[in-house]
Structure 1
Amino acid sequence: MSESEKAYALVIGGTGMLERVCHWLVEQGYFVFVINRNREKFDTMKSRNPNPEQLLPLTVDYHEEEQLLQKVSSAFEKYGVPDLVVSWIHSSAPHALPLILNQFKSRNKTWKLLHVQGSSSFFVKENTPVPENCQYRRIYLGFVIEDNVSRWLTHDEIANGVIKVIQNDYQETIVGTLKPWNKRPQ
């Protein structure tokens, strides 16, 4: 299979709560760029995959914009621009996602962005500008109420929710619940 025939995905948050999403994407035949801050953690994750050659590290702190741009642009130049982006970026790095999306300007084919956001983002409904050929999907991470006690979602629950969005192409999804808001974990 030539480089141009391979399907690529980019996952931001792939060595944490989205690790299982990375493994699932590999099972679906994707080669997955994983933005990670800790190469050792990435290598451990990679060792758990039966096809480790399909997990490609982009070791960089996404708060470091110049380094992020360099890593992403060189990977895209070498392999091509991904068909799918799954992004979990903390609000402390507001320029990281726009910087990455800017790398898609030259792409003509349609591609998907799954924008994973925290629960409080649901009430803000920020406008994320994306290129015309981008199919934007928004995923809000809520919480779970069990026996009248609330807790945050587990990594598996989050990964299952993201995978479900990929499989069913939902426009906007809440994983868990956001109601009643005053019952969320403190």
Structure 2
Amino acid sequence: MTGTALLLGTTGMLAAAARHAAAQAEKCVIVSRSAESFSFDDAAFDAKCAPLALSYEDEPALLAALEEHAPFALALTWIRPRAELLRAALDALVAPGGLLVEVMGSRSILAGPDGEPSIASLRADALAHQPDMTYAQVVLGFMREGKSSRWLNHEEISAAAIAQMEMPLPRRIAGTLEPWDERPR
């Protein structure tokens, strides 16, 4: 991949996916509150990464900082579900022909209390009309093991994000969401 990768909220459970993106990018922008202390433990990867120690809670500061590095050939994001304004602003920073991989929690697929569409559906519908970018959603589910279930581990989460980078689908469910009543508590 030529160009710059945006890695937003990827220094924890998505660190392996962030490393995969960094391996392919010419340059990376890593955004997290602790970005300055994050390392891939690889001097070549770390050298091409610009850490931005910002919170997405301060949307104006974050967007101003990101605009200096845009456009992004790849954006891999994990942000809070109802950050609609931030999500829409990030869409505009993806380069023509770019890929936006958006990781969401299992509840993002649920309809709202008054029957309004889920955040995952709203995002998929909105970005289906963006002809100059590919949108690939990862919805995190859980794993059923016999009569019990567990949340996904970091490797399983990153594997789903990497799969979206390699072969994007409109929506990829990591693990399962069914039956919902059997999810871990």
What is the TM-score when the length of structure 2 is the normalising length? 0.83
Q: Does the aligned pair in 1 maintain the 2:142–2:183 contact within 8 Å?
A: yes
Q: Does 1:110 align with 2:110?
A: no
Count the aligned residue pairs: 172
Aligned equivalent of 2:72, options 76, 82, 86: 82
Q: Does the aligned pair in 2 maintain the 1:23–1:49 contact within 8 Å?
A: no
* Alpha-carbon distance in structure 2 between the residues aligned to 1:133 and 1:96: 19
Structure 1 gaps of 5+ residues are: none
**1:11-55 CA distance string (max 9 Å, x none):** 11121111111111222344221111113442xx24x12421122
Aligned equivalent of 1:23, options 15, 19, 30: 19
Q: Does the aligned pair in 2 maintain the 1:140–1:174 contact within 8 Å?
A: yes
Alpha carbons of 1:53 and 1:121: their partners in 2 closer, same or farther (altered >3 Å)?
A: same
* Alpha-carbon distance in structure 2 between the residues aligned to 1:54 and 1:22: 13
**1:49-77 CA distance string (max 9 Å, x none):** 2421122212210010111111111222x
Shift of 1:126: 2.9
SS at match of 1:126: helix
Shift of 1:102: 2.9
Alpha carbons of 1:134 and 1:85: their partners in 2 closer, same or farther (altered >3 Å)?
A: same
* Alpha-carbon distance in structure 2 between the residues aligned to 1:73 and 1:19: 23
Shift of 1:118: 0.9
Q: Does the aligned pair in 1 maintain the 2:72–2:93 contact within 8 Å?
A: no
In the alignment, which residue of structure 2 is the partner of 1:91? Answer: 81
In the alignment, which residue of structure 2 is the partner of 1:58? Answer: 52
Q: Does the aligned pair in 2 maintain the 1:11–1:86 contact within 8 Å?
A: yes
* C-alpha RMSD of the superposition: 2.0
* Alpha-carbon distance in structure 2 between the residues aligned to 1:50 and 1:167: 24
Identify which range, 26-35 or 139-148, moves more after superposition: 26-35
Q: Does the aligned pair in 2 maintain the 1:22–1:32 contact within 8 Å?
A: no
In the alignment, which residue of structure 2 is the partner of 1:126? Answer: 121
**1:63-114 CA distance string (max 9 Å, x none):** 10111111111222xxxx111111111125332211222334xx4x311111
In the alignment, which residue of structure 1 is the partner of 2:154? Answer: 155
Structure 2 gaps of 5+ residues are: 111-117
Shift of 1:133: 0.7
Shift of 1:147: 2.9
What is the TM-score when the length of structure 1 is the normalising length? 0.83
Residue type at the aligned position of 1:12: L
SS at match of 1:56: strand
User: 1:145-184 to 2 correspondence within 5 Å?
Assistant: 145-184=144-183
* Alpha-carbon distance in structure 2 between the residues aligned to 1:29 and 1:144: 31
Alpha carbons of 1:92 and 1:121: their partners in 2 closer, same or farther (altered >3 Å)?
A: closer
Q: Does the aligned pair in 2 maintain the 1:63–1:96 contact within 8 Å?
A: no
Residue type at the aligned position of 1:127: L
In the alignment, which residue of structure 1 is the partner of 2:7? Answer: 11
